[in-house]
């Protein structure tokens, strides 16, 4: 039988071990998902104007939860095995607020939902918002407890204390919380000397939720967490994919000696988890040209079955720049990447942008591909060449030809590219004048702007 009642523990400043102002921020990408059977839906514009923590034990209550979001309910609730929770923050005066689930699991006789309330940081939407989170999880006969934490360090300090760690370590996290701040960053000036040591200790705890959030915290510290790099590298062998995923992001954000880090991240491109592979691909790009040793691995990643991995690999190859010239042909081949859904259609585009970042070494292969029958290939060739500004003698003739393409988007892109070259594209004047009368408004407008940039009369 499902237990529908709940207790709400609001940890609002006075805990059994300390008293601090509690705040934290975490992005959607960083939301912990401790149990793959748990599903979450979040939004910023629900219809509930008051703070609420609610449970649903049947389909009727599930629909009532969704009524408070202003959205149609997801048709996924199974009365025979599911329960659900809804957390509503009520009306807030700006954007930037949200909810992050830290963990949701059984603790003794209770089922505990630990969560953070995200607070604004930096520029936010100046409008009323009503943030919410709906969570679907397997039914439990235990009493459900909502436990709100306003800073991730409180959560981790509590975990250290429960696991009987050295009190100086759990207290170090508490002393690192600056009243009034919303998140831990690499620029923090009040980090306790033992904070990193405390987070490393938290990585030893068997609870996967604790390890995930300890790794995320190390990532948010940036270079301040450099002493943890050897431990994070070992964490890449963790049996839990989410822990490995966060560790890859942390290693990429902390940085360090490329000769040591790049091989580690390159090896992670072969992880069995697609999320870890995607994280490795994007983290390598953060090192720019210093990641040139990863080019062979990223070229292989371009053929990954997961579209996010392929996209991230394409982007990172561009960030490496001219040293990624061996990737020119594989990137061009991805102009025809058709193994994607609608959201995955960015792969050809990012491949084109990366070819532009690789530079003149990509021009010969791009020129050979310009006459391809596939219109998307021709579009991407123009985009790629348009990003290579250093060799107009070879690119302008292609753009002039492209202004006469039967595809209006190819014509428009060619006009844009010529305009960006300015006076260096003077030989395109006549072609642009023709396109200034194009039947397509987008082409006509792009041609007019390009003529102005050539500083020639239209």
Domain with residue 300: its CATH number is 1.25.10.10
Closest C-alpha to 177, from 156, 148, 160, 206 = 156
| Whether residue 243 sits in one domain with residue 263 | no
Q: pLDDT value at position 123? A: 74
Q: pLDDT value at position 176? A: 81
Domain boundary among 119, 150, 181: 150
Domain boundary among 240, 256, 272: 256
DSSP 3-state assignment of 199?
helix
Whether the CB-CB separation of 397 and 429 falls below 8 Å is answered with no
| Whether residue 330 sits in one domain with residue 318 | yes
d(CA 362, CA 364): 6
d(CA 300, CA 327): 10
| Whether residue 143 sits in one domain with residue 14 | yes
Other beta carbons within 10 Å of 106: 11
| Whether residue 80 sits in one domain with residue 207 | no
| Whether residue 90 sits in one domain with residue 11 | yes
DSSP 3-state assignment of 79?
coil
| Whether residue 146 sits in one domain with residue 19 | yes
| Whether residue 137 sits in one domain with residue 6 | yes
* Exposed/middle/buried for residue 59 (C-beta within 10 Å: 0-12, 13-18, 19+): middle
In terms of phi and psi (left: phi > 0; alpha: psi -120 to 50; beta: otherwise), the region of 321 is left
Domain boundary among 351, 369, 388: 388
Whether the CB-CB separation of 23 and 188 falls below 8 Å is answered with no
What φ, ψ does residue 77 adopt, rounded to 5°? -75, 130
d(CA 416, CA 435): 12
| Whether residue 318 sits in one domain with residue 173 | no
| Whether residue 62 sits in one domain with residue 50 | yes
Residue numbers of the domain that contains 57: 1-150
| Whether residue 204 sits in one domain with residue 159 | yes
Per-10-residue mean pLDDT of the chain, 458 residues long, equals 40 29 31 59 92 95 95 94 95 89 90 88 82 94 92 88 88 76 54 89 89 90 91 92 93 92 97 96 96 97 93 96 96 75 70 95 94 91 94 95 95 96 94 94 96 74
| Whether residue 168 sits in one domain with residue 87 | no
Structure tokens at 133: 């989170």
Structure tokens at 263: 């091989």
């Amino acid at each position: 039988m499902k237990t529908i009642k709940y207790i709400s523990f609001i940890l609002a400043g006075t805990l059994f071990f300390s008293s601090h102002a509690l705040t934290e921020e975490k992005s959607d990408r960083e939301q912990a998902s401790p149990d793959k059977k748990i599903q979450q839906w979040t939004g910023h514009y629900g219809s509930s104007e008051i703070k609420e923590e609610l449970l649903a034990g049947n389909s009727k209550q599930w629909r009532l939860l969704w009524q408070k979001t202003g959205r149609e309910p997801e048709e996924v609730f199974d009365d025979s095995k599911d329960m659900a929770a809804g957390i509503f923050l009520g009306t807030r005066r700006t954007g930037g607020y949200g909810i992050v689930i830290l963990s949701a699991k059984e603790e003794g006789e209770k089922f505990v939902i630990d969560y953070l309330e995200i607070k604004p940081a930096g520029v936010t939407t100046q409008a009323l918002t009503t943030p919410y989170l709906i969570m679907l999880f397997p039914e439990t006969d235990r009493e459900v407890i909502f436990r709100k934490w306003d800073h991730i360090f409180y959560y981790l300090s509590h975990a250290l204390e429960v696991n009987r760690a050295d009190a100086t370590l759990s207290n170090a996290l508490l002393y690192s919380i600056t009243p009034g701040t919303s998140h831990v960053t690499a620029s923090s000036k009040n980090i306790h000397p033992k904070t990193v040591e405390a987070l490393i200790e938290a990585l030893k705890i068997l609870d996967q939720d604790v390890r995930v959030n300890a790794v995320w915290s190390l990532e948010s510290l940036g270079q301040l967490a450099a002493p943890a790099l050897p431990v994070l590298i070992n964490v890449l062998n963790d049996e839990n994919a989410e822990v490995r995923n966060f560790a890859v992001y942390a290693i990429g954000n902390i940085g360090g000696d490329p000769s040591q880090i790049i091989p580690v991240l390159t090896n992670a491109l072969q992880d069995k988890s697609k999320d870890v592979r995607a994280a490795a691909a994007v983290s390598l790009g953060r090192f720019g040209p210093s990641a040139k040793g990863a080019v062979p691995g990223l070229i292989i990643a371009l053929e990954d079955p997961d579209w996010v991995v392929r996209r991230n690999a394409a982007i990172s190859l561009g960030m490496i720049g001219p040293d990624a010239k061996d990737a020119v042909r594989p990137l061009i081949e991805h102009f025809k990447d058709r193994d994607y859904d609608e959201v995955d259609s960015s792969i050809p585009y990012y491949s084109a942008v990366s070819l532009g970042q690789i530079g003149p070494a990509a021009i010969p292969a791009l020129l050979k591909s310009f006459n391809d029958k596939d219109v998307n290939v021709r579009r991407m060739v123009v985009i790629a060449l348009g990003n290579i500004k250093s060799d107009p003698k070879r690119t302008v003739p292609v753009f002039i030809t492209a202004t006469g393409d039967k595809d209006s988007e190819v014509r428009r892109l060619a006009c844009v590219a010529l305009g960006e070259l300015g006076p260096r594209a003077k030989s395109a004047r006549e072609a642009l004048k023709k396109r200034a009368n194009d039947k397509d408004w987008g082409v006509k407008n792009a041609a007019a702007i390009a003529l102005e940039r050539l500083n020639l009369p239209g």
